[in-house]
Structure 1
Amino acid sequence: MTADVDLRHHHWTIDEEVAQYLNADHPDRAEITRDPYPFFDRLRAHAPVYRTASGPVLVTSYQATQGLVRDRRWSREEMSGAPGVTPTQRVFLESLAFRDPPKHTVLRGLLAGLFTPKSLEASRADVRDIVRGLLAELRGRDHFDFIQDFSYLVPLRLICRLVGVPLSLESEFIAWGDALIGSLEPLPQAAEVAARRETTARECFAFFTELIRERRARPGGSDIISQLLAARDEEGRFLTDEEIIANCMLLHSAGFSTTRNLISNGMYLLLRNPASYAELRSDPGVIPSAVEEMLRCEGPARNSLRRTAPEDTGLGGLPIQAGESVYAILAAANRDPAAFDDPHTFNIRRAGPRQVAFGGGIHLCLGQSLARLEATIAFAHLAEAPRLEADVDALEWIPSFLTRGLASFPVRWA
């Protein structure tokens, strides 16, 4: 961010900047969408825990974010009583992301079996095969869209394999993933956009409903739905069909969006930092560390899902009343100078505290290890391929509250 841009914002109050951040239709919001970090710095310096004029509390410091995501008292389940909950959101509320203990504990225990070290190791060969196949196809093209032709398809094709559906449904899965993650956006949406997302999400709901019926008729498979149908907790309880559908939709939308943005945002950072790109290509052993720095610098989640105070409490010195909503701006916490030295510098060999791109506490992203695996394998093969080039200054970011991702990413082989 240049000094000129900072001066342009100088006459705005922090309240006006926050209103701009929370208004998807604000005429000046494009700058914050493109580069939100100067605004996050100003907000953190003003108040690390800030109550907005429109209601929700925003958290920008690393310490307060850790305090929020690790404290079990904050509720996700109370979102079910929020006004204006859409039919798709109501389905999601059956998933573990929107449950508190003890229900959350039971669901997470049942779903954790999908992400054991043994399961991840079994997925390694699939991911490697998918990445190799995609890059082999793309080597025959002078230019392509990195998102549409690569980072979209890596998690998508893995999901198709894990769920046990044909690749002929790829286009539907992409549409469903976008609609599902869009339906969770807390900011007001245009009526026609919301209606289109609801229609698309209902198609996804119907698909998983039918797939569960088919798997129940032929039990014993190794795909995710067959495993969920067979899973039982310590008391012998099975998941209900509604819980299976909700968690399948959650795994699809969250896993799909997270991995897609992690890989594409990571490639964006490498192209903006040619020396780091060259270092990663010459020393693939640095890739795991580089992926962690990608998560910190341009993580796939901008804000956490909402948490609600079940009782009067406090956070970062700010009193919070029962029923108030709080969002942790994960992208701000990951660039807090109180936690990270030179936080706006991309350093693929960075040492220090762990980033919070996947949240924390009991709601730590269940699929984080799988996302890391996919990204690590993707960049290992990209390091062996010819160098990519792009006009990164011309790229546009999706105007989303929850996610941080590029709208498109045209690239060419150097």
Structure 2
Amino acid sequence: MTTQVSLLRQIIDYSSRANPYPLYAELRKTPVLDEGDGAYIVSTYWEILSLLHDPRVSSDARNRTVGPELEPEGEETGLPPSFIRLDPPEHDRLRRMTNRSFGPPHNPRRVHEMRGELGGIVSGLIDGIGNTDRIDLVEQFSYPFPVTVICRLLGVPREDEARFHTWADTLAASLDPTPGEDPTERNRIAHEARTQLGMYLAGLIEERRKNPGDDMLSELAAAKGPDGSMTTMELLSTAALLLIAGHETTVNLITNGMLTLLRNPDVLQRLRENPKLAVPVVEELLRFEPPVQLVPNRTTVADIDVGGVTIPKGASLWLVVAAGNRDPQRFENPERFDPDRKDIEHLGFGSGIHSCFGAPLARLEAQLALSELARRLVNPRLLEDPPEYRQNAVLRGPRHLPIACDDIRP
């Protein structure tokens, strides 16, 4: 068991960040791994899928009593937990209330109707790239794009977007510590940003209650449906979830996507010629290079038998979804990036009651971003491979992606 434990530690270790997939293959040889410290690691597709749908698996940290902690998943705000950190019935109530303002059946066209605005943001960012000899795709494109989208979705006034970007930058940095950095100072700066963001959002919520617009925050603030109304603190947690958890995953999806396309120039050329290919490209990216690699720190609230192993009540459960996405028992030639794959039922957005709430918007953002980058960048190429990765093992993606191109098409 010592070899298997060291495998997991290697996966978490930063030295494996650029390519953890050989380690995932080793991990799958023991589909349910008992770490010996109260944690159980599950790495195969069907077992992960089953546990994502199992009501005996809790997302509420208050149920956790044993097992190691991993780095933050993207939602450390100092606010009460949002619905992705809760179990039914609280989870169901808050998710239903949020969904009334975001998706079907109550608002089936909100995301679709943002397509034109999203396209304008993408075009503006590409227009502003400037020097094509060295482009940092993260800093200049895939990072500012999603946070601008979230501002427009929530209804943040245009004149306040720069402040919102600054808070998002600070909170993202707190999830991606620099080696040797003073954690006390980093935590102080992050706490200050959370406080300022919370105060700003609280003021915006009160303003929207008095003078509602057609944005999502206005609808959430004014809603009085069958589940009642959200409190201000519940609204703040939901807005913070959209900003932090949603933003970071979309940044990584777009960046991982462009990196994968540049490593597969034949697919990049096909996307350039046929923008509709963006739909299967993004689905295959969510399988092949998912922005969320691990779902850690879930808790079993009863004994569960998985793959011949009994995971006891109270255990800490880690689901390695990126390993499941390349399980050869589920996908043919899983190490191959293939957007023509007929069956791409990936775990990139999770599954079950906690499946990614923002999946429709993330899909659309990635489709528009990658198809437009493919069309407009002339002869794009990587300047570093592998690039520098973020420290975070859960939200895996390049910290910077230096590329160059010969020109930018209009």
Q: TM-score range by the shorter chain?
A: 0.7 to 0.9
Distance 2:40 2:259 in 1: 31
1:403 Cα deviation from its structure 2 partner:
0.6
1:171 Cα deviation from its structure 2 partner:
3.5
Kindly provide the CA deviation profile for residues 229-254 of structure 1, in whole angstroms up to 9, marking residues without a partner as x.
1123315x110111111111111111
- Relative distance call for 1:314 and 1:89 in structure 2 (3 A) is farther
Q: Which amino acid aligns with 2:205?
A: I
1:20 Cα deviation from its structure 2 partner:
3.4
Distance 1:170 1:190 in 2: 23
Distance 1:79 1:110 in 2: 23
1:129 Cα deviation from its structure 2 partner:
0.8
TM-score with structure 1 setting the length: 0.87
1:75 Cα deviation from its structure 2 partner:
0.9
SS of residue matched to 1:326: strand
1:115 to 99, 102, 108: 102
In the alignment, is residue 398 of structure 1 matched against residue 390 of structure 2?
yes
- Relative distance call for 1:144 and 1:333 in structure 2 (3 A) is same
What residue number does 1:103 align with?
A: 90
In the alignment, is residue 67 of structure 1 matched against residue 50 of structure 2?
yes
Superposed, 1:8-407 pairs within 5 Å as 13-22=3-12, 29-45=13-29, 47-79=30-62, 89=76, 91=78, 93-116=80-103, 117-138=108-129, 141-165=132-156, 166-178=160-172, 190-216=183-209, 218-235=210-227, 237-385=228-376, 386-407=378-399
- Relative distance call for 1:212 and 1:181 in structure 2 (3 A) is farther
Q: Is the contact between residue 294 and residue 320 of structure 2 (CA under 8 Å) also seen in structure 1?
A: yes
Kindly provide the CA deviation profile for residues 93-138 of structure 1, in whole angstroms up to 9, marking residues without a partner as x.
4311011111111111111123323101221111011001111222
Please say which of residues 347-356 and 333-342 is displaced more in the overlay. 347-356
SS of residue matched to 1:34: coil
Aligned residues: 388
Distance 1:174 1:53 in 2: 37
- Relative distance call for 1:230 and 1:181 in structure 2 (3 A) is farther
Q: Is the contact between residue 287 and residue 347 of structure 2 (CA under 8 Å) also seen in structure 1?
A: yes
Distance 1:349 1:136 in 2: 31
Percentage identity across paired residues of the two chains: 32
Q: Is the contact between residue 64 and residue 316 of structure 1 (CA under 8 Å) also seen in structure 2?
A: yes
What is the Cα-based RMSD across aligned positions, in Å? 2.5
1:401 Cα deviation from its structure 2 partner:
2.5
Distance 2:57 2:98 in 1: 22
Please say which of residues 192-201 and 156-165 is displaced more in the overlay. 192-201
1:193 Cα deviation from its structure 2 partner:
4.1
Distance 1:168 1:295 in 2: 30
Where does the alignment leave 5 or more consecutive residues of structure 2 unmatched?
none
Distance 1:156 1:67 in 2: 33
Where does the alignment leave 5 or more consecutive residues of structure 1 unmatched?
1-11, 23-28, 184-188
SS of residue matched to 2:112: helix
Distance 1:401 1:195 in 2: 23
Distance 1:167 1:222 in 2: 18
Kindly provide the CA deviation profile for residues 29-52 of structure 1, in whole angstroms up to 9, marking residues without a partner as x.
34311111111110111x111121
1:18 Cα deviation from its structure 2 partner:
1.9
- Relative distance call for 1:222 and 1:80 in structure 2 (3 A) is farther
- Relative distance call for 1:378 and 1:53 in structure 2 (3 A) is same
Q: Is the contact between residue 286 and residue 349 of structure 1 (CA under 8 Å) also seen in structure 2?
A: no
Please say which of residues 264-273 and 170-179 is displaced more in the overlay. 170-179
Distance 2:280 2:78 in 1: 37
SS of residue matched to 1:115: coil
- Bigger helix fraction: 1
What residue number does 2:403 align with?
A: 411
SS of residue matched to 1:13: helix
1:196 Cα deviation from its structure 2 partner:
4.0
- Relative distance call for 1:201 and 1:179 in structure 2 (3 A) is farther
SS of residue matched to 2:230: coil
Q: Which amino acid aligns with 1:95?
A: S
Q: Which amino acid aligns with 1:387?
A: N
1:192 Cα deviation from its structure 2 partner:
4.7
Distance 2:246 2:203 in 1: 21
Kindly provide the CA deviation profile for residues 153-178 of structure 1, in whole angstroms up to 9, marking residues without a partner as x.
11111112122223322542432541
TM-score with structure 2 setting the length: 0.87
SS of residue matched to 1:50: strand
Q: Is the contact between residue 303 and residue 402 of structure 1 (CA under 8 Å) also seen in structure 2?
A: yes
Q: Which amino acid aligns with 1:101?
A: P
Q: Is the contact between residue 171 and residue 193 of structure 2 (CA under 8 Å) also seen in structure 1?
A: no
1:82 Cα deviation from its structure 2 partner:
5.8
Kindly provide the CA deviation profile for residues 267-287 of structure 1, in whole angstroms up to 9, marking residues without a partner as x.
000111112212221222211
Please say which of residues 384-393 and 242-251 is displaced more in the overlay. 384-393
SS of residue matched to 2:330: coil
Q: Which amino acid aligns with 2:82?
A: S
1:296 Cα deviation from its structure 2 partner:
0.9
Distance 2:359 2:192 in 1: 29
What residue number does 1:6 align with?
A: none
